């Protein structure tokens, strides 16, 4: 998956328009990234990428870039 | 008004599958308004039946995880009216069950007729947030019925 595809996936997860989402977009700019959003993200990572993160790993995330880093760390984004 | 929308559990495989029923009374209070002269079970109540039953399947799997709570209705479809006096047979299959969340695919039949389907997303609330000693009466009754010689829950 390319970074662009990952950004689209993140936008879809949070029901955002892809144009609004970049690596720099902070969590507070994404209304659906709330407590349910954390669970939705967790479920999406599990279902779509086989990446199961703990609550503790997900909650400190502060930007879209942090999600991209997780995907990269698990080898889901091609360099 | 009580909000127990599953009367009995018929089969239970904790964390995997569950089947239960709800007998729709002929004089449920909501029929007065939904709708005058055309009483049908509201779709939100059919969804709640599916959520309650799927939740019991999850709670039976791992009570220490917390009580399951409906967090999102990913999809819900209502295909036929459900009328006063009918018996809704509810089924749920757990698609994903993790420590923090779960997903279930559910359906409701009346007789041979598929009347509703849904995919539901659950989170979990710590047991400590509930009243001390709280127990699920429907699950309890199911477990008690399994200990009886017949092992059957009557329809």
Q: Where are the domains of chain B?
A: 8-147
Distance of CA B8 to the CA centre of its chain: 9
pLDDT in the model for residue A78: 82
Q: Residue B40 and residue B80: Cα distance in Å, rounded?
A: 10
A55·B123 Cβ contact <8 A: no
Which residues from chain B sit within 8 angstroms of residue A43, using beta carbons?
96, 98, 101, 103, 121
pLDDT at B154: 42
- Per-residue model confidence (pLDDT) at position B153: 46
Is residue A64 pLDDT above 70, yes or no?
yes
C-alpha–C-alpha distance, residues B73 and B118, integer Å: 7
Give the per-residue pLDDT at A79: 66
pLDDT at position B133 is 87
Q: pLDDT for B114-139, tens place per residue?
A: 999 999 999 999 999 999 988 899 99
Question: Average per-residue pLDDT in chain A?
Answer: 93
> Token pair for residue B64?
């220490």
In the predicted model, is pLDDT for residue B29 greater than 80? yes
Minimum-distance CB partner of B103 among A43, A52, A55? A43
DSSP A24: T
pLDDT for residue B151: 46
Q: Has the ipTM of the complex gone over 0.90?
A: no
The neighbouring-strand residues paired with B86 are none
* Alpha carbons B141 and B119: distance in angstroms, whole number: 26
Question: Angle of helix A64-73 relative to helix A35-49, nearest 10 degrees?
Answer: 30
**B116 and B40 in contact (C-beta within 8 Å)?**
no
pLDDT category of residue A41 using cuts at 50, 70 and 90 = very high
Partners of B100 on chain A (C-beta within 8 Å) are 39, 42, 55
Could you tell me what percentage of chain B is helix, strand and coil, using 3-state DSSP and rounding each to the nearest 5?
25, 40, 35
| Count of alpha carbons within 13 angstroms of residue B106, beta-carbon side | 37
- Please report the domains of chain A, with CATH numbers, ordered by start residue: 3-73 (1.10.1200.10)
pTM for the full predicted model: 0.90
Nearest 5°: the CA angle B67, B75, A34 is 55
Reply yes or no on whether B80 is catalytic: no
> Per-residue pLDDT averaged across B14-41, rounded?
97
Widest CA span in chain B: 46
- Are B10 and B21 in contact, with CB atoms under 8 Å apart? yes
Interface list for A 2-31 with B (CB within 8 A): none
Q: For residue A5, what are the contacts with CB-CB under 8 A and spacing of at least 6?
A: none
Report the pLDDT value the prediction gives residue B149, as an integer from 0 to 100.
Answer: 56
- Measure the CA–CA gap between B31 and B39, rounded to whole angstroms: 5
- Of the listed ranges A53-62, B31-40, B67-76, B145-154, the one predicted with least confidence: B145-154
In three-state secondary structure terms, A26 is strand
> What's the CATH superfamily of B8-147?
Hotdog Thioesterase (3.10.129.10)
Q: Dump pLDDT digits (tens) for B63-114.
A: 899 999 999 999 999 999 999 999 999 999 999 999 999 999 999 999 999 9
Task: Give the whole-angstrom CA distance, residue A72 versus residue A66.
Answer: 10
């Amino acid at each position: 998956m390319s970074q662009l595809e990952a950004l689209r996936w993140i936008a879809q997860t949070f029901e955002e328009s892809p144009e609004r989402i970049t690596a720099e977009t902070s969590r507070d700019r994404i209304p659906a990234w709330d407590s349910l959003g954390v669970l939705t993200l967790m479920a999406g990572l599990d279902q779509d990428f086989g990446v199961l993160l703990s609550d503790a790993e997900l909650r400190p995330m502060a930007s879209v870039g942090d999600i991209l880093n997780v995907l990269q760390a698990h080898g889901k984004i091609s360099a | 008004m009580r909000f127990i929308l599953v009367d009995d559990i018929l089969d239970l495989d904790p964390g995997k599958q569950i089947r239960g029923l709800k007998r729709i009374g002929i004089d449920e209070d909501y029929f007065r308004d939904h709708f005058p002269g055309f009483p049908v079970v509201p779709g939100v109540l059919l969804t709640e039946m599916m959520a309650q039953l799927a939740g019991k399947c999850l709670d039976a799997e791992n009570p220490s995880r917390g009580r399951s709570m409906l967090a999102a209705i990913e999809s819900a479809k209502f295909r036929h009216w459900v009328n006063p006096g009918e018996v809704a047979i509810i089924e749920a299959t757990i698609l994903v069950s993790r420590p923090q969340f779960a997903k279930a695919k559910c359906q409701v039949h009346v007789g041979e007729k598929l009347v509703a389907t849904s995919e539901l997303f659950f989170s979990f609330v710590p047991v400590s947030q509930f009243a001390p000693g709280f127990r699920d009466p429907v699950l309890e009754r199911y477990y008690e019925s399994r200990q009886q010689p017949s092992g059957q829950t009557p329809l």
